């Protein structure tokens, strides 16, 4: 099924048509900067632009950096607080005239990696992390999925701040950290994750995962740790798969 997938990020909103059986984008990706402030009406206006650009009608899958329960967003770490408690899925459907399935951005990226990428056929506990503006997480146990984990918001000992404010890709960029400095921060974070969850496999996604050679060598875990195979496309592909499967 060809389905529109949209990934709402802290800096860009990206969409493409996806072949959901193959897990592949079948058009170029359209990227529109995220409106600032990223309030619901402004962001939903961009979704409408993306739908119009592809002259699309049909189910739409959308990933958003928030906790999503039954179409309602319940947190807003890198978007405007107006999303908290907002019936986002319904508002998106009304604005676009298409049925919308909304999920957490890291959850849908994780779904794509499990189905088509580095997690294919992997049993045991598999954890997918997206490193970007924040740190997103998705957890699968024997292929079954635990939604809405927010492991970027763990507190690390003595840090007095969320882990994502210490180790996200945004922090590497803002603080101009060397790969080694950032790698050490990631090592602290993933060793703590490993202590808490003992996963068999950790998959690292987000745009920066294409530079995995620079930072993965600093992360020493018992678990196998690998870059995502769908890289930055996982969010779009996973969102489309979620919508295709729910319709």
- What residues between 137 and 196 interact with ligand BGC by CB under 6 A? 150, 152, 164
Burial 39-60 (b: 16+ CB within 10 A, else e): bbeebbebbeebbeeeebeebb
The phi and psi torsions of 86 (rounded to 5 degrees) equal -90, 140
Give the nearest distance from C-beta 167 to ligand BGC in angstroms.
12
Instruction: Please report whether residue 66 would count as binding ligand BGC according to CB under 6 A.
Output: yes
Compare residues 108 and 216 and give the one whose CB is closer to ligand BGC. 108
Compare residues 56 and 86 and give the one whose CB is closer to ligand BGC. 86
Selected from 20, 73, 89, 130, the binder of ligand BGC by CB under 6 A is 130
Selected from 20, 104, 209, 232, the binder of ligand BGC by CB under 6 A is 104
Pairing of strands 100-104, 72-73: unpaired
Compare residues 20 and 133 and give the one whose CB is closer to ligand BGC. 133
Give the nearest distance from C-beta 134 to ligand BGC in angstroms.
3
Contact 136, 105 (CB under 8 A): yes
Residues 6+ apart with CB under 8 A from 211: none
**CB under 6 A: which stretch of 82-90, 115-123, 129-137, 213-221 binds ligand BGC?**
129-137
- What residues between 36 and 65 interact with ligand BGC by CB under 6 A? 65
CA pair distance 146, 139, nearest whole angstrom: 6
Q: Which residues is 38 bridged to in the sheet?
A: none
Q: What is the largest CA-CA distance in the chain?
A: 51
Burial 64-100 (b: 16+ CB within 10 A, else e): bbbbbeebbbebbbbbbebbeebebbebbbebbebeb
Compare residues 150 and 229 and give the one whose CB is closer to ligand BGC. 150
Selected from 15, 134, 183, 205, the binder of ligand BGC by CB under 6 A is 134
Give the nearest distance from C-beta 226 to ligand BGC in angstroms.
19
Residue 155: helix, strand or coil by DSSP?
strand
CA pair distance 103, 150, nearest whole angstrom: 13
Give the nearest distance from C-beta 78 to ligand BGC in angstroms.
5
Compare residues 162 and 194 and give the one whose CB is closer to ligand BGC. 162
Compare residues 30 and 168 and give the one whose CB is closer to ligand BGC. 168
Which positions touch ligand BGC (CB under 6 A)? Answer: 65-66, 75, 77-78, 104-106, 130, 132, 134, 136, 150, 152, 164
């Amino acid at each position: 099924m060809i389905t529109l997938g949209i990934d709402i990020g802290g800096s860009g909103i990206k969409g493409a048509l996806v072949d959901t059986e193959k897990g592949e984008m079948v058009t170029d990706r359209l990227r529109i900067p995220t409106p600032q402030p990223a309030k619901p009406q402004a962001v939903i206006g961009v979704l409408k632009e993306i739908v119009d650009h592809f002259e699309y009608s049909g189910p739409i899958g959308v990933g958003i950096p928030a906790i999503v329960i039954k179409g309602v967003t319940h947190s807003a770490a890198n978007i405007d607080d107006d999303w908290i408690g907002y019936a986002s899925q319904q508002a998106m459907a009304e604005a676009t005239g298409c049925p919308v399935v909304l999920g957490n951005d890291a959850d849908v990226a994780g779904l794509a990696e499990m189905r088509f990428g580095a997690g294919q056929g992997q049993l045991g506990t598999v954890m997918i992390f997206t490193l970007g503006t924040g740190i997103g997480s998705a957890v699968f146990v024997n292929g079954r999925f635990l939604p809405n984990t927010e492991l970027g918001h763990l507190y690390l000992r003595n840090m007095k701040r969320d882990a994502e404010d210490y180790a996200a890709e945004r922090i590497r960029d803002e603080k101009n950290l060397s790969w080694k400095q950032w790698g050490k921060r990631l090592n602290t974070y993933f060793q703590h994750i490993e202590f808490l969850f003992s996963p068999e496999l950790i998959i690292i996604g987000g745009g920066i995962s294409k530079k995995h050679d620079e930072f993965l060598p600093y992360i020493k875990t018992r678990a196998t740790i690998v870059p995502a195979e769908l890289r930055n496309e996982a969010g779009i592909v996973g969102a489309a798969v979620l919508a295709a499967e729910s319709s």
